[in-house]
Structures are given as C-alpha cells and as structure tokens.
Amino acid sequence: MSLISQLMNALQIMPGIGPKSAQRLTFHLLQKDKAGAKHLAETLLQAVEQVKECKACRTLTEHELCKICSNEQRSKQQICVVESPADIVHLEQATDYKGRYFVLHGKLSPIDGMGPKELKLDLLVELLSDEACKEMILATGSTVEGETTAQYLSHLAEKGGIKTTRLAHGVPLGGDLEYIDNSTLAHAFASRVNI
C-alpha cells in the first residue's frame, strides 16, 4: 500500500472523517502545507507520548494534576461528573462553575463491557468521601446509558450522604415546541420545576 493510501486510511480513524474527507486532507497536507503537515505529525506524536489522565479527575493533561485540580481557588464542595474531557471544556466555556470535575471516560454499558471498574468509580467514591464535598452534579448524557449511569452514581452519593443534582434536559433556550422531538418534550414536561 502506498504512503498516500496509508495516510488516507490513518486519517479516517478520526470521527466524521470518511474516505472523501481523508482524501481532501491528504492532498491538502501533501500539496499545499508540508510544513503544517510536519508540525501536525510532530505535535500529535508528542501529545500521544506525553498526555495522560489527571490522577485526581481523570481529564487529559501533561502533568500529574490538571490545571483545574491544581487550582486552590476551585471549590472542593462540588464535583461535576462528566462522560469525557471535552465535556469539561464545554462547561468551562458556557458556565461560571468553580468546582471540581470527575471524568468517567464513558458510561455504564454492560453490552460494551463498561462497568463500574472500567469507569474507575472507586476513584470517584474516594473524591466523594472528602469532608469538603457536599454536592455531586451529574452531567451525563440523556441517552439510556447516560441515565442509567446517573442513577447508579446518585446511589453511590446517597450512601455517602452527598447531595446529588442533575443537569436539566429539555426545551432549548429559544426553541419552539413544534420543532422539538416527542421524547425531549416528554422529558422536559415530566421534569418541570416551580418558578
């Protein structure tokens, strides 16, 4: 197999990159931006070799502790549980949350071989046992697996006397009811709150 074909195949491991996109990227890198391609390859190799999980929250970092866990200004009273490191980025950009995080790197799914051990929930239990911790915020997805994971985690927190809250799901800001799918609308209706 030629190097060009190997590069096209290698690029397809990324989400959303199919054969056509991989072909466009390959020819762009090789024809128009060889310096950029070399920089990309070197940076990718360096990241693969040096990035690891934060020993406290399990997000991705180059250090023992990530910026958030090493920041003494962050509150230890709240732990927000997310499915992936990308979720932390979204929450940090969209909210003024100043607590800590825990990254599951997935969700409970026996079919996929993801149980409490694979999600390293023993580390989460350790964080929840800290006297300073008062609340666990569940920011898992609204899929069946995400909901199952949230229920399981709420039981863990309950055993430790930790308050558990869940991100609201439902009607998006500025959304018209006629454009919202039935299951989202039903969930929003069932989860309504007092105002």
The answer to whether 76 touches 132, Cβ cutoff 8 Å, is yes
| pTM (2 d.p.) | 0.84
> What is the rounded average pLDDT for all residues in the chain?
91
The answer to whether 76 touches 100, Cβ cutoff 8 Å, is yes
CATH architecture classification, 3-50: Orthogonal Bundle (1.10)
**Per-residue pLDDT for 192 more than 90?**
no
105: left (phi over 0), alpha (psi -120 to 50) or beta: left
- Mean per-residue pLDDT, 124-137: 92
Per-domain residue ranges of the chain: 3-50, 56-166
Question: What is the distance between the alpha carbons of residues 175 and 168, in angstroms, rounded to a whole number?
Answer: 15
Strand-pair category, 163-166 with 60-61: unpaired
Q: Token digits for 145?
A: 């697996």
pLDDT on residue 186: 78
pLDDT on residue 97: 94
**Per-residue pLDDT for 191 more than 70?**
yes
**Per-residue pLDDT for 177 more than 70?**
no
pLDDT digits (tens, 9 = 90+) for 134-163: 999 999 988 889 899 999 999 999 988 999
pLDDT on residue 175: 73
180: left (phi over 0), alpha (psi -120 to 50) or beta: beta
Q: Which phi and psi (to 5°) does residue 142 adopt? A: -95, 20
pLDDT on residue 190: 75
Domains 3-50 and 56-166 alike in fold: no
**Per-residue pLDDT for 58 more than 60?**
yes
Whether domain 56-166 has CATH 3.20.20.70: the reply is no
- Mean per-residue pLDDT, 107-119: 92
Q: Which amino acid is at 17?
A: I
**Per-residue pLDDT for 195 more than 60?**
no
**Per-residue pLDDT for 78 more than 80?**
yes
- Mean per-residue pLDDT, 57-74: 96
Element spanning 135, H or E = strand 135-139
pLDDT on residue 170: 76
Angle at 81 between CA 46 and CA 74, to 5 degrees: 80
Other CB atoms within 10 Å distance of the CB of residue 180 = 15
**What does each C-alpha distance from 90 to 3, 85, 93, 97, 114 come to in angstroms?**
36, 9, 5, 11, 24
Strand-pair category, 52-53 with 60-61: antiparallel
Per-residue pLDDT band for 55 (boundaries 50, 70, 90) equals very high
**Per-residue pLDDT for 11 more than 60?**
yes
